[in-house]
A and B are shown apart, each in its own frame.
Chain A
Amino acid sequence: MEFGLSQEQIMLQDMTNKYLAEQVSLERVRKVVSSEISDEEIWQELTELGIPGLMIPEANGGVGLGALDAAVIAECLAYHVTPSAFLSSAVMAPVALIAAGKDELLAAIAAGEQRVGIAFGETIGARREAGIAVIGSVLSGKCLFVLDSQADHYLIADKDKNLYLVAASAQGLQRNSLTTVDKTRTTCELVLDQVEAEVISNDPAVYTRSLDLGRVMQAADTLGAAQSMLDQSVVYAKQREQFNRVIASFQAVKHMCADMVANLEPCRSLVWYAAHAMDQVPEEARLMACHTKAHLSEVGKAVAKTATEVHGGMGFTDLVGLHYWFKRIGANRQLLGSPELLRNEAAKIQGFV
């Protein structure tokens, strides 16, 4: 019995963190955010590490790793607020395509040649401005907060959890970027006017696997971002002096840091198990995905606030840049289901509703 990361996973984590620390500095993140460079540039570098093909079978040019490996990568990416299409192109789209037996695109995704965005908003807390009508395989309507405004294709879910694939260049499809607080990952709206789509799946289980895995990755992303904020807070508190002593020696500050640790440390085990369940304990996977993303969203929110406060006025500035992590955690909270929706889903899964 061994609960935790394997030696290989620890190596994967160390290697990825080392690479990101060297190659994806905050300075470079700022350049992506200000459109000085494209996130595609970073995506191509991640391709050299095999990240886009992480979950794609080796037969299709990928690395063939599992959900826990992907969670490890998600945590690393968020730790360095790496701009990337990881959630959509490396996780949610490939697993949906694999589960549906549609492997034509997989090699191109693994090679970093094609990116696939995710438009699941129709099934998760759809808002009044959105809505898709489907006749046969022709889609009309609007999808909001679609993951990745630079993708080559989009995987769209309708109300009945059927999945469709459309090319970004398809006739009748208009794509408009949507600015959010989190500028390290992009979202857009898709306006569809009788767009011919490829039917990927009529099996809700395909949609569900992709969504659940996406939620676990969001939780892992929040874990990484929150851990970074905590680490930065401790470093800052040990340097910053007031009243002739470092502020890390004040109990008020120490207890804020202890609260962050106490809340975050159990989250790590929760994320690990939720990811493990995705591959190995299917009967628990849905419930674990809901609870894990909901719980991480709550803890992440608290850590994001507390870490900013530990930094005092500097935490509020753009100069320190802590807000990139704050906003990433905020985006993870809403995308693919807010905690309230997820807890309601968790209750439904257990037959409480």
Chain B
Amino acid sequence: MDLSFGIEYTNFREEVKDFIDQHQDKQPSATTESMSAIEWQKLLIDNGYHSRTIPREYGGFGAEPDIIKSRIIAEEFSRARINTGLGGQGISMLVPVLLEMGSEEQKQQFVRTTIGGEMVWCQGYSEPGAGSDLASLTTKAELDGDEWVINGQKIWTSTAQLADWIFCLVRTEPEASKHQGISFLLFDMKTPGIEVRPLVDMTGSANFNEVFFTDVRVPKDQIVGKRGQGWQVANAILGHERGSLAPPEAAKSRLEGVIRLMQSETIGGEKVIDNPVFRDRLMSIQGRVLAMQFNDMRLFSARINKGQSAGMAGIIVKLMGTELRHELEALAIDAMGEIGLSYEDNPYIRGEGSWQYLYMYFLGLIIGGGTSQIQKNIISERGLGMPKEPKVDAK
């Protein structure tokens, strides 16, 4: 056990802190002097604090991959509560895939504009009939001359109403088996035949959309990888998404928020934290947050030390992380009692309504990205080598 990072990294951490000290008053905010989100993003990329390992020829900073440095940047930005730059599915999911599997032209065309914030993407994966069983998707693309003609429907498409382009899974080989018949297409959301309908969820917001395709015509070469390889491409990024849905650092930060809340809220004149029942629940959650933090440290260590195994520490993160956050937000609501019900314009609301919002939002994350039950199938089948349920013949 060695939790030190060595002098090179101590110096690097100081560099990051200096940058934060010098620039934190320029980060995007409501004030007039601050930078726009796009200007801030450029500043971060130019200094290696965003798109750090993306090659310079594609608009990144071009550093050698160094997981420890990336982690130090994340830690220091989080500690100082500094804007970490742009996110979204284009940056977090499509760019890594293009760098790995895209053609040279695709990299030139899309990476720079995506990380720079000029091009916003949405992800077209799930369909009404293809949720947990994503590979059964039926949105089809048929080749007509030099164009794909796309018909079908996607659902749970975040930011579709804002997106410039979509990366989309479509069935191009109807004769092939369900995993071999899918292709990964990129196309403009302004293409005729696309209709976006917002899908209001239980939080009251439209975090997602339904997207309908009717004879949408897309140039033949706007495909990542080969025809029929789309499932492999999609799986590469889904793996990326799962671990990042509920990072333990965020849980720790929210836990600190619950503690502050319980220290300031009162019941009948008594602070909530002085109530032994609530305090016990708080400590119980704190123990679980600690377990996930050190689990994450073990995963991190296995990534930087070749030959070290993280056992099943990774395969359980999506399940445990999202369930933990849901319960953590619930504790805050319970600690507030009736006040905890406040929503939207209620003048008694605490934390801008984030407790109720995230309590519900994390229920969405428990379901999205592979439900808790699908996670348990993965853990028992891939982790423990238990057999799959016997297959039922397709209708």
* Interfacial residues, chain A to chain B (CB-CB below 8 A): 1-6, 68, 234, 237-238, 245-246, 248-251, 253-255, 257-259, 261-263, 265-270, 272-273, 276, 280, 288, 291-292, 294-295, 298, 340, 343-344, 346-347, 352-353
Chain A residues near B386 (CB-CB < 8 A): 234, 237-238, 248-249, 253-254, 257
Answer whether A266 and B294 are a contact pair too, CB < 8 Å, given A291-B286, A343-B280, A347-B283.
Answer: yes
* Of A1, A245, A263, A343, the contact of B301 (CB 8 Å cutoff): A1
* Of B297, B376, B381, the contact of A269 (CB 8 Å cutoff): B297
Chain B residues near A246 (CB-CB < 8 A): 387
**Is B387 in contact with A68, judged by CB distance below 8 angstroms?**
no
**Is A1 in contact with B2, judged by CB distance below 8 angstroms?**
yes
Q: What's the dominant secondary structure at chain B's contact region?
A: helix
**Is B295 in contact with A1, judged by CB distance below 8 angstroms?**
no
Nearest to B259 among chain A residues (CB) is A352
Q: List 16 A-B contacts (CB under 8 A).
A: A4-B301, A248-B387, A249-B389, A254-B386, A255-B376, A257-B380, A257-B386, A258-B384, A261-B315, A262-B316, A266-B291, A276-B1, A291-B286, A340-B280, A346-B286, A352-B282
Question: Quick check: which of B58-66, B92-100, B303-311 contacts chain A, the rest being far away?
Answer: B303-311
**Is A4 in contact with B312, judged by CB distance below 8 angstroms?**
no
Q: How far, in angstroms, from A346 to B287 measured CA to CA in the complex?
A: 9
**Is B279 in contact with A344, judged by CB distance below 8 angstroms?**
yes
**Is A272 in contact with B1, judged by CB distance below 8 angstroms?**
yes
**Is A3 in contact with B376, judged by CB distance below 8 angstroms?**
no
* Interfacial residues, chain B to chain A (CB-CB below 8 A): 1-6, 68, 259, 273-274, 276, 279-280, 282-284, 286-288, 290-292, 294-295, 297-298, 300-302, 304-305, 308, 311-313, 315-316, 319-320, 373, 375-377, 379-381, 383-390
**Is B284 in contact with A343, judged by CB distance below 8 angstroms?**
yes
* Of B68, B294, B376, the contact of A272 (CB 8 Å cutoff): B294
Q: In the complex, which of the residues B1, B319, B377 has the most CB atoms of chain A within 10 Å of its own CB atom? A: B1
For the A-B complex, the count of residue pairs with Cβ-Cβ distances under 8 Å equals: 162
Answer whether A251 and B389 are a contact pair too, CB < 8 Å, given A3-B1, A4-B301.
Answer: yes
**Is A262 in contact with B379, judged by CB distance below 8 angstroms?**
yes
Answer whether A270 and B290 are a contact pair too, CB < 8 Å, given A251-B389, A254-B380.
Answer: yes
Q: How far, in angstroms, from A245 to B386 measured CA to CA in the complex?
A: 12
Q: In the complex, which of the residues A1, A68, A280, A347 has the most CB atoms of chain B within 10 Å of its own CB atom? A: A1
* Of A1, A262, A269, A347, the contact of B294 (CB 8 Å cutoff): A269
Chain B residues near A250 (CB-CB < 8 A): 389
Chain A residues near B279 (CB-CB < 8 A): 343-344, 347, 352-353
B300 to chain A, nearest CB (A): 7
Chain A residues near B384 (CB-CB < 8 A): 234, 254, 257-258, 261
Nearest to B314 among chain A residues (CB) is A265
Q: How far, in angstroms, from A68 to B6 measured CA to CA in the complex?
A: 22
**Is A269 in contact with B283, judged by CB distance below 8 angstroms?**
no
Nearest to B308 among chain A residues (CB) is A4
Chain B residues near A265 (CB-CB < 8 A): 295, 311-313, 316
B82 to chain A, nearest CB (A): 23
Chain B residues near A280 (CB-CB < 8 A): 1, 3
Q: How far, in angstroms, from A257 to B380 measured CA to CA in the complex?
A: 7
Chain A residues near B390 (CB-CB < 8 A): 245, 249
Chain B residues near A295 (CB-CB < 8 A): 287-288, 290-291
**Is B287 in contact with A266, judged by CB distance below 8 angstroms?**
no
Q: How far, in angstroms, from A239 to B287 measured CA to CA in the complex?
A: 36
Q: How far, in angstroms, from A269 to B248 measured CA to CA in the complex?
A: 14
Chain A residues near B301 (CB-CB < 8 A): 1-4
Chain B residues near A267 (CB-CB < 8 A): 291
Q: How far, in angstroms, from A253 to B390 measured CA to CA in the complex?
A: 14
Nearest to B274 among chain A residues (CB) is A353
Q: How far, in angstroms, from A258 to B315 measured CA to CA in the complex?
A: 10
Q: How far, in angstroms, from A292 to B294 measured CA to CA in the complex?
A: 11
Q: How far, in angstroms, from A87 to B301 measured CA to CA in the complex?
A: 30
Nearest to B9 among chain A residues (CB) is A1
**Is A6 in contact with B1, judged by CB distance below 8 angstroms?**
yes
Nearest to A2 among chain B residues (CB) is B2
**Is B320 in contact with A262, judged by CB distance below 8 angstroms?**
yes
Q: How far, in angstroms, from A292 to B287 measured CA to CA in the complex?
A: 7
**Is B298 in contact with A1, judged by CB distance below 8 angstroms?**
no
Nearest to A276 among chain B residues (CB) is B1
**Is A1 in contact with B320, judged by CB distance below 8 angstroms?**
no
B370 to chain A, nearest CB (A): 13
* A-B CB proximity, top 3 nearest: A269-B294, A254-B380, A343-B283
